[in-house]
Amino acid sequence: MAKARVLLVEDDPAQAAATREILSKGDYEVLWAADGINAIKLVTRDKPDIILLDVVLPGMTGHEVCRWLKREESTKAIPIIMLTVKKELSDKISGLHIGADDYLPKPYNELELNARIYASLRTKALQDELRQKNSQLEELLEKVNNMAITDPLTGLFNRRRFSEVLSSEFERAKRYDTPFSLAMLDIDFFKKVNDTYGHDVGDTVLKGVAGVLLNSLRKIDTAARFGGEEFMVILPNTEKANAVIVAERIRQSIEQATFSGVDRPVTASIGIASMPDSGIDQEDKVIRCADIALYQAKQTGRNRVLTAGSADL
């Protein structure tokens, strides 16, 4: 615990000098405050490793200072040892109840003071290590969870996540009669792209189309790679007419985009299905309607947006 920073909060100059001498011999860096207000300022500014806090102080009492520090997110992890001439059990219990980590009555023995400081710092180090490991574990779990719902090539959501979101939106639409739309997008003649330019260029096109989708959508929308060159877009709170506007904007953006390694325009066909639709009573029917609209768009010339509903099933 060498060179740990200790804040001593003590209003008695003689007592403070004696304690600072003890701490200096223990190879600690010592800060000193004579009252509670300055103690809080020093803690906020210098972030000591541990605080030795006298209970009886001018203005704010040590208990009030302790209570304030333990409520603040940035300072609550700093261990506090309360120092007092009072030896009543009630004073000790009061300090511990408001968050003090230890309690040392005056006059204190030099060896005991160093031992209490060392023990508190060791406990803090173990707690810091545990917090760090928990943080690393949470980051790892978040990474694993993201990998489980993300398409590795495009960075969009995968089919699993798409199914989860579609189920949620479908149930919400059925229960509250709120609109949502589903757009199914397919890159036109994508096999020719792979055959002509190679699969690496094909992957570049897929990633480029994914980028167009992300740049064209709201935060509440969900874009997913459905498989191969097919993509799905879920548009919450979006009726069919507005979905067509969004899809047309996406179609034009893809047509106008340039893709590395491809010397001709890349286009896409899009089919749209929307809720509410009295004839759609299962979520898979939403997909089927969007698929029918996409098929019709392909059959009538590609590079266009069409819609379909339950009447087309």
Please, which residues have CB within 8 angstroms of residue 211's CB and are 6 or more apart in sequence?
none
pLDDT at 178: 95
CA distances from 189 to 20, 139, 186, 264, 266 (A): 80, 40, 9, 12, 9
pLDDT at 174: 92
pLDDT at 1: 44
Q: Kindly give the pairing relationship between strand 29-33 and strand 180-187.
A: unpaired
CATH topology of domain 159-312: Alpha-Beta Plaits (3.30.70)
CATH topology of domain 5-139: Rossmann fold (3.40.50)
pLDDT at 91: 62
Q: Give 117-139 as a DSSP string.
A: HHHHHHHHHHHHHHHHHHHHHHH
pLDDT at 70: 93
* Helix or strand holding residue 100 (H, E): none
> In whole angstroms, what is the distance from residue 221 CA to residue 183 CA?
11
* Local mean pLDDT, 10-residue blocks, the chain (313 residues): 84 92 89 94 93 91 92 92 73 73 85 91 90 91 92 96 97 94 98 96 98 97 97 98 98 97 96 95 96 98 97 91
What is the phi/psi pair of residue 228, to 5°? Answer: 55, -120
Let me know: does 133 contact 104? Beta carbons within 8 Å: no
Residues belonging to the active site: 229
Please, which residues have CB within 8 angstroms of residue 94's CB and are 6 or more apart in sequence?
63
Please state at what angle helix 62-71 crosses helix 36-46, rounded to 10 degrees: 30
Burial 239-261 (b: 16+ CB within 10 A, else e): ebeebbebbeebbebbeeeebee
pLDDT at 109: 84
Q: Kindly give the pairing relationship between strand 29-33 and strand 5-9.
A: parallel
Q: Is 55 helix (H, G, I), strand (E, B) or coil?
A: coil
Domain ranges for the chain: 5-139, 159-312
> In whole angstroms, what is the distance from residue 1 CA to residue 122 CA?
8
Determine the residue type at 296.
Q
pTM of this structure: 0.68
Determine the residue type at 115.
A
pLDDT at 5: 93
Closest to 267 (Cα-Cα) out of 225, 232, 303: 303
pLDDT at 103: 86
